[in-house]
Amino acid sequence: MESLWNQKWVIGNWKMNGRLQNNNALMHRFRILPQVDRVCIGLAAPTVYLLQLHNAMQIVLNNRILTCAQDVSRFAGNGAYTGEVSAEMMADIGVDIVLIGHSERSLYFGEKNEIQRQKIENVLNVGLLPLLCVGESLEEREAGKEKEVIAHQLSVLEGLDTKHIAVAYEPVWAIGTGKVATVEQIAEMHQFIYEQILSMHGNDAKIRVLYGGSVNANNATDIFAVPYVDGALVGGASLAYDSFTSIINAAQES
Ligand code: PEP
């Protein structure tokens, strides 16, 4: 797992998409994916399909793709929390990485820093890796507040008992819109995020900062060439084999 921190990460976020049969077909196609030693590949499926995904990764793909969850309960262990799935359960079925605080969680479920912090701690406590998503809205960017907003979102990482920090910078206005931040905007924000993490966790912190927001087969090469970009969190383009593997190949060649 230590080599993860030197690799480019390409994590697909299926959101609320997928069906047993389609997922299986996609997993089988991944068998022909050439070996990529410079890329850590992950797929975040809906919770109900995580076990299917994990089994396929083990049986068909020799664990070449990490199993990622899109969310986790803020409650730990077991208990009377109907509908919830705890970090312990995620660990039990073989999840590796858990997305925390995706902007859609904040938009539709009102999740803010306090809940995200509880989730991150739960995930760390069971030995899994949280991937914190941060990003400003269009309004916030137009008001010149993007760094202030991101600094506040990143403050959930303060004082965590870990030296391994993974963040996805996803400007909300670029998610699912086809609008991609410019390479200058990405470089500026990624450098800022690095500085914030280093100031909280020290120079020996192991850091990955992924870019997310309409990454596709055509723009991935340019995005991976931006300084401080350690990979991509990919929504729409992760649903099709060809576009997702083009992004993986771009990461391998970057
Ligand atoms: C996302 O949901 O994390 C995302 C980046 O979506 P898309 O690539 O579709 O913009």
Q: What is the pLDDT of residues 227-240, one digit of tens each?
A: 999 999 999 999 99
Predicted structure pTM score: 0.95
% of the chain with per-residue pLDDT over 90: 85
Helices (H) and strands (E) in the chain, counts: 10, 8
Q: How far is ligand 1, taken at its centre, from the CA of residue 175, in Å?
A: 5
Distance in angstroms (rounded) separating the CA atoms of residues 142 and 153: 18
In which residue are the tokens 């080599």 written? Answer: 3
Average pLDDT, integer, range 82-94? 97
pLDDT at 132: 98
Number of domains in the chain: 1
pLDDT at 58: 82
Rounded (5°) CA angle 59-236-243: 65
Pocket of ligand 1 (CB under 6 A): 13, 170, 175-176, 212-215, 233-237
Tell me the pLDDT band of 45, cut-offs 50, 70 and 90.
very high
Average pLDDT, integer, range 20-39? 88
Task: State both tokens at 187.
Answer: 């470089």
Domain span at residue 207?
2-253
Domain of 80: which CATH number? 3.20.20.70
Q: How far is ligand 1, taken at its centre, from the CA of residue 44, in Å?
A: 12
Calculate the alpha carbon distances from 157 to 50, 63, 74, 130, 223 in Å: 26, 29, 16, 10, 25
pLDDT at 145: 95
Average pLDDT, integer, range 27-48? 90
Taking 90 as the threshold, does the pLDDT of residue 19 lie above it? yes
Taking 90 as the threshold, does the pLDDT of residue 51 lie above it? yes
The H-assigned helical ranges of the chain are: 20-29, 50-59, 87-93, 103-109, 113-125, 138-142, 146-154, 183-201, 220-224, 241-253
Tell me the pLDDT band of 2, cut-offs 50, 70 and 90.
low
In which residue are the tokens 């905007």 written? Answer: 185
Q: Which residues are identified as catalytic?
A: 102, 170
Distance in angstroms (rounded) separating the CA atoms of residues 48 and 147: 36
Write the residue with the smallest CA distance to atom 4 of ligand 1. Answer: 235
Task: Please choose, from the candidates 233, 251, 226, 9, the residue with its C-alpha nearest in 3D space to the C-alpha of residue 103.
Answer: 233
% of the chain with per-residue pLDDT over 70: 98
Taking 70 as the threshold, does the pLDDT of residue 206 lie above it? yes
Average pLDDT, integer, range 78-83? 97
Query: Would the annotation count 214 as a binding residue?
Result: yes
pLDDT digits (tens, 9 = 90+) for 118-175: 999 999 999 999 999 999 999 999 899 999 999 999 999 999 989 999 999 999 988 8
In which residue are the tokens 């269009």 written? Answer: 138
